[in-house]
A and B are shown apart, each in its own frame.
Chain A
Amino acid sequence: MSPAPAPVQAKRTVALVGRANAGKTSLLMHLTGTPQRPVNFPGTSVERAESTVERDGMRLRIVDLPGIASLTPMSRDEEVALQSLGVGSQDRPDVVCAVLDATKLMLELRLLAQLRTLGLPVVVALTRLDLAEAEGRPVAVDRLQEALGLPVVAVHGRTGAGADRMLGVLAGALPSASGPQPDASIASKVQSQDRALTTWTDRLDALLLHRVFGPVLLLLVLMFAFQVVFTVAEPFVAMIEAAQQHLEALVESMVDEGALRSLLVDGLVNGLGSVLVFIPQIALLIALVAVLEGSGYMARAVFLLDRLLRKTGLTGRSFVPLSTSFACAIPGVLATRILADERDRIATMVVAPLMSCSARLPVYVVLIGAFFPAQQAGLLLAGMYLLGIVCAALVAWLLRRTVLRGGKSMLAMELPAYQMPGLRMVVGQAWSAVGSFLRTAGTVIFAASVVVWALGYFPRSEEVATRFAAERAAVGEAADRDERLAQIDAREAGAQLEQSWLARIGKSVQPVFEPAGFDWRITVGILAAFPARELIVPTLGTLYSLGEVEADPESPDPRLRDALRDAVDDQGKPTMNPLIALALMAFFALCSQCSSTIAAIRRESHSWSWALFTFGYMTALAWLVAVGITQFGSMLGFGLPA
């Protein structure tokens, strides 16, 4: 039996302050042992992790601030972190726990000297002592504590050894808030400042930053990452789709036919499915980005790509938000916070949605499957990703030479030692990305699914209902009664849809897309996809499985790809061909069809104008490229009916 914990007598707020990568997050984990909950800084959308723990009758609220290198903020994250430490901040902590990396003690003592000017008690957590020892430069912790006049506790990042002592220090009597600023010469007294031994990191860098092998390996790493995402996510996607079908069947068996059943099955269950189906890919890609980040490789990618990205007007660090955007542009837009220069940040944010996100993939897959031979699939898919990248480079280049000219872009970044990424950190980042997707995009997609369903379901025509009721009566007791009734049901649904609001809107807007070769059904799909692009697949599914019945009565429930391939217009001419399919894919690759991303850009840029600009230029670009493909392709004689 452990003794009963002492009753809580006092509260204390502790801020973990230190450079990014110094080990703040793992320290928080070891100190509290409880899952952290991300909390926004008051009035901002910058997140920090915090957790509470009790020790010796003291309730400690421990806050993990974004990494800082000095008291001069260089990015939005740093600015918010520093504001919370300032005098008069409602968040001002009672004590600062400076998290210092023993492998660069001399540099860290400069930061510590600045932290002493805050007028707060400071205690020191020294991390990565094992790494410093491996480099042949151990630190004499007790001598450091003596020289600084502050409590110094060595904490092991992986095992958590030392965390318990740290808690005791934080809950105990604190050192004076004022005191002499430490002198950088202390470092040479407690640690050998000779050149470090050659380490694993040096050997790996010799290969990974090599003039030739470096870029080749970077390309391989990226290709491997995408391959992993698609192959590993596939079974999970299939599971979600199967579950959706089961749920639909269940609802159909419980609810009578009519508006309610249609709302539940075609509106709610379908909407839920189209949200959930993205989770495996988003979680996997964010986890891989976290692995690259946590291992130290992401900083190398930035180093290798900085020059190339600068030619387009971006900066090496833009690589992090841009690669994140291949999963989902929403975390990508948030990740632009690591960019110090506001112009770099805006330019990156505005082109990030051109990276083909996981929501575009189902569209590509359906269209490629329907209109192109299997051996061309990989090439076409890669082409769509490349189209987005090339357009992003051009747009960024244009912006940086016009409205976003100038600015003081800096690189000046640390390349950390390579290390095993912490599993908890990787899982935590994937988890929080999925959470923010569900909260922001998920609700919009779900709501939009229901709206699209309503537009396609109403108004119900009495005349159509009466006509088909008469047909049903005429069937009588024929041998193939069930089959004929099912046909009639499908045709009735098609007839109802053709006079719905959705079809009316689609038909009136269709002339805009005529030059791209899109018929009214594709136009309806495009319109339905403006709140969230993934809606095109279920919408086209509804449109074709219902409207297509007249063209091909033998298969009342064809898969979407067959329906698309076989679709004909009133005169019986095919409405789609490989050329139009290509134009449609390009349209989806470039068009801004995600209201959640636009909302994220508005929030992060603090202006509606950049959000609306992103929407406008992407939509215009998509239309131009789609029309260009169709017109130019027909001139060359592609895509004409055989």
Chain B
Amino acid sequence: MILAPVETKSQLRMTQYQDIRLCCLPRGVDATVVAVEGSDEVARRLADLGLVPGTRLQMLTVAPLGDPILFRLLGYRLALRKDEAERVLVRTGDQRP
């Protein structure tokens, strides 16, 4: 399944939230997981680590070479590579999707 980009301006105006890929989440912005693409091993692993719809998270920092990225969710710190974070769609702005 491939999710089309949804962050169009009209949607943003109408709903006051924005769905972006987790790899693009700016530091310190609260976000909620909407979906994880795929159903392979990586997707399963991400689910085991708590990346399921409804989980709230924040980006903490980026490694010196720009990858991986550190997030906080469910009370712990999770490091994800950019290509792993790319599969996670999160919603910012509205905390109750």
Contacts and interface: CB of A to CB of B under 8 A. Distances in A.
Question: Do A and B associate with each other?
Answer: yes
Nearest to B30: A195
A414 B63 contact: no
Contacts of A137: 75
Nearest to B84: A412
A415 interface: yes
A412 B80 contact: yes
Contact of A106 (B50, B79, B80): B50
A246 B53 CA distance: 70
A307 B84 CA distance: 13
B74 interface: yes
Contacts, number: 107
A205 B60 contact: yes
Interface in A176-211: 193, 195-196, 201, 205-206, 209, 211
B75 A104 contact: yes
B32 to A, nearest CB: 13
Interface stretch (A68-76, A436-444, A559-567): A68-76
30 contacts: A72-B44, A74-B45, A104-B74, A104-B75, A105-B75, A107-B74, A107-B76, A193-B75, A195-B58, A206-B61, A209-B70, A299-B79, A303-B68, A303-B70, A304-B64, A306-B81, A307-B68, A308-B65, A408-B40, A410-B81, A411-B68, A411-B81, A412-B42, A412-B46, A412-B49, A412-B78, A412-B84, A414-B77, A415-B78, A416-B77
A135 interface: yes
Interface string A68-109: 011010100000000000000000000000000001111100
Contacts of B81: 306, 410-412
A410 B66 CA distance: 16
A408 B76 contact: no
B45 A106 contact: no
Interface in B5-46: 40-42, 44-46
Nearest to B66: A307
B94 interface: no
A105 B73 CA distance: 11
Interface residues of A, number: 41
A412 B61 contact: no
B76 A104 contact: yes
A345 B85 CA distance: 23
A206 B70 CA distance: 12
B17 to A, nearest CB: 19
Nearest to A135: B75
B23 to A, nearest CB: 13
Interface in A473-495: none
A107 B49 contact: yes
Nearest to B81: A411
Given A303-B63, A411-B80, A412-B80, A70 B48 contact: yes
Contacts of A412: 42, 45-46, 49, 78-81, 84
- Among the interface residues B49, B76, B84, which one has the most CB atoms of the partner chain A within 10 A? B76
Nearest to A103: B75
A369 interface: no
Contacts of B60: 205
Contacts of B64: 211-212, 214-215, 304
Contact of B75 (A106, A211, A302): A106
A415 B70 contact: yes
A218 B58 CA distance: 25
A303 B66 contact: no
B63 A304 contact: yes
3 nearest A-B pairs in the assembled complex, by CB-CB distance: A307-B65, A70-B48, A104-B76
A55 interface: no
A110 interface: yes
A107 B75 CA distance: 9
A413 interface: yes
Nearest to B48: A70
Given A74-B45, A412-B81, A209 B75 contact: no
Contacts of B67: 306-307
Contacts of A110: 48, 50
B79 A415 contact: yes
A306 B68 contact: yes
B94 to A, nearest CB: 17
A106 B61 contact: no
Nearest to B75: A104
Contacts of B70: 205, 209, 303, 415
A465 B64 CA distance: 70
A191 to B, nearest CB: 9
Contacts of A111: 48
A364 to B, nearest CB: 32
Contacts of B66: 307
B76 to A, nearest CB: 4
A381 to B, nearest CB: 28
A574 B37 CA distance: 69
A416 B78 CA distance: 9
Given A106-B75, A196-B72, A410-B41, 14 more contacts: A103-B75, A106-B50, A106-B74, A107-B50, A107-B76, A132-B75, A195-B72, A303-B68, A306-B63, A306-B81, A307-B65, A411-B80, A412-B42, A412-B46
Contact of A303 (B42, B48, B79): B79
A193 B76 CA distance: 12
A414 B76 contact: yes
A195 B72 CA distance: 9
A98 to B, nearest CB: 15
A410 B76 contact: no
B75 A196 contact: yes
Interface in B81-97: 81, 84
A137 B49 CA distance: 20
Nearest to B62: A211
Contacts of A72: 41, 44-45, 48
Contacts of B72: 195-196
B76 A103 contact: yes
Interface string A408-434: 101111111000000000000000000
A570 B95 CA distance: 87
A69 B49 contact: yes
A120 to B, nearest CB: 20
B29 to A, nearest CB: 13
B63 A69 contact: no
